[in-house]
Amino acid sequence: GSGSWSVWQRVENILKPLELTDDDYRKVVQLMLEKMKEGLARASNDKATIKMFPTYVRAVPDGTESGDFLALDLGGTNFRVLLINLRGQEVKMESKIFLIPQHIMLGTGVQLFDHIADCIFRFIKEHNLMGKKLPLGFTFSFPCRQHGLAHATLTTWTKGFKCEGVEGHDIVALLHEAVARRGDLDVECLAVINDTVGALMSCAHSDRQCAIGIILGTGSNACYIEELKNVEMAEGNEPGPPEMLINTEWGAFGDDGCLDFITTEFDRQVDKHSINAGRQRYEKFISGMYMGEIVRLALEKLRKNGLLFSGEGSYHMATRGRFYTKYVSEIEGDDVDSFKTTKQIFEELEIINVSEQDCRLARHVCSLVSRRAAFLSSAGVACLLQKMKRKDVTVGVDGSLYRFHPFFHDLMMEKIRVLAPGVRFKLMLSHDGSGKGAALVAAVANRIR
Ligand code: ADP
């Protein structure tokens, strides 16, 4: 009857802003192209939102890299030390996760790097590598302005780290000083990379067409191969191939307000209550740290309007950050005949009397938010594909959102085809990019020097 028609209308009105058109996505691609141009140029880099940091990584691996390498991985969910043996396509890897205690995450830089040197020492001892000279690659996934392959100045801590005396300093110097203080370690850091470069390098090792690396995890970022002549911000002119990997730091796209035309009231609330309000606006549409919260806010709005759960809420559903992004994957992957998992999730969140209709609507909200995230990251990939003008490109992808969401890959394939017509591309899951990538860059650096 007309009653249910108007209910549907009210639901539509609340959710409509989450649905973007292909023209919206095309506009996002064009805007990103402009902002990336600003970041690359010396004259405008200062005020650019997308920083387009030169990485000083000049070559992708050619598959002949060999030897034993150490790698460090800091900036993801865990700190790891890895030993990697490269021999052609054969990669052997051993790794150990070390905890970084809270008091060190919030302590001084000296304490942090002494702890890291100590972890390296313990790892080397356990693996009977004492006295062996080992080149090291450091995957340090925080925004850094690099001045060379092995020179990286931290611009700002993120992700729960806040060690005094590191921002504005060269993290390789800090590492080497700590290694010297520790003694008995013959370790030289040859390269600093971030996780996007790791994803690109590790995929390029088996697929020579790989020219883009992206992260869809806690945050979102991308790197790609740029022609050296366009990399105005790079210092020095080391010999090497006429190209360089650029760490875009695309998460900050939109920080000048240029994405306001796609921003919903839910996005505004997520941003307002984050620890970095006004910053990383593109990342906040897309990544694992925020997607669940966007869904929760939309569900709460429907519920408060009496359109979901008969209007009955719960303490949990009213709690910021309590609706995890993994629920979005689980609900969308659920069997729509039983909604078994969906009902379990809402039971856990202490919502009572969840109807079939509620499950259907909740699933619809999840899919709107994840489609928008997948399509916006597709716009980013399409932008890089348009920039690079190559015919065949493989994109290395890492991160739990891409890995575990049931449709993210398919949605991205669909939308990149629309936004970058005529380009042949593949999306390839990166395995252990942070470790393998760091070792490969160290190996290339070792060969070139
Ligand atoms: P990091 O980016 O810190 O290196 P991950 O790639 O594991 O680590 O990403 C962690 C993020 O992935 C978290 O924000 C989490 O919400 C999200 N996540 C974890 N599991 C899933 C899942 N099953 N589906 C979607 N997102 C997930």
pLDDT at site 447: 76
Q: Which of 209, 104, 81 is nearest to 162 (CA)?
A: 104
Integer Rg of the chain from CA:
23
pLDDT at site 76: 65
- Render the burial of 362-372: b for 16+ CB within 10 Å, e for the rest: bbbbbbbbbbb
Tell me, in angstroms, the distance from the centre of ligand 1 to residue 181's CA. Answer: 36
162 vs 156: CA distance, rounded Å = 9
Give the up-direction half-sphere exposure of residue 135: CA atoms within 13 A in the CB hemisphere.
23
Tell me, in angstroms, the distance from the centre of ligand 1 to residue 327's CA. Answer: 11
Check pocket membership of 433 for ligand 1, CB cut-off 6 A.
Answer: no
Give the up-direction half-sphere exposure of residue 404: CA atoms within 13 A in the CB hemisphere.
14
382 vs 417: CA distance, rounded Å = 8
pLDDT at site 248: 97
ipTM of the complex: 0.99
pLDDT at site 61: 84
90-98 β-sheet, strand order:
90-98, 79-87, 66-74, 134-140, 187-193
Residue nearest (by alpha carbon) to ligand 1 atom 4? 76
Check pocket membership of 325 for ligand 1, CB cut-off 6 A.
Answer: yes
- Is 137 in a helix, a strand, or coil? strand
**DSSP codes joined into one string, 269-303:** HHHHTSTTTTSSHHHHHHSHHHHHHHHHHHHHHHH
Tell me, in angstroms, the distance from the centre of ligand 1 to residue 183's CA. Answer: 37
From the list 73, 170, 195, 271, the catalytic residue is 195
Residue nearest (by alpha carbon) to ligand 1 atom 24? 326
Catalytic-residue membership of 195? yes
- Can you give the pTM of this predicted structure? 0.94
Check pocket membership of 217 for ligand 1, CB cut-off 6 A.
Answer: yes
The two structure tokens encoding residue 43: 């004259």
Q: Average pLDDT per run of 10 along the chain, which is 449 residues long? A: 79 98 98 98 97 92 89 87 92 94 92 97 94 94 93 86 94 97 93 96 94 96 97 87 95 97 98 91 96 98 97 98 98 98 98 96 98 99 96 96 98 98 97 92 81
Check pocket membership of 158 for ligand 1, CB cut-off 6 A.
Answer: no
- Is 384 in a helix, a strand, or coil? helix
pLDDT at site 2: 56
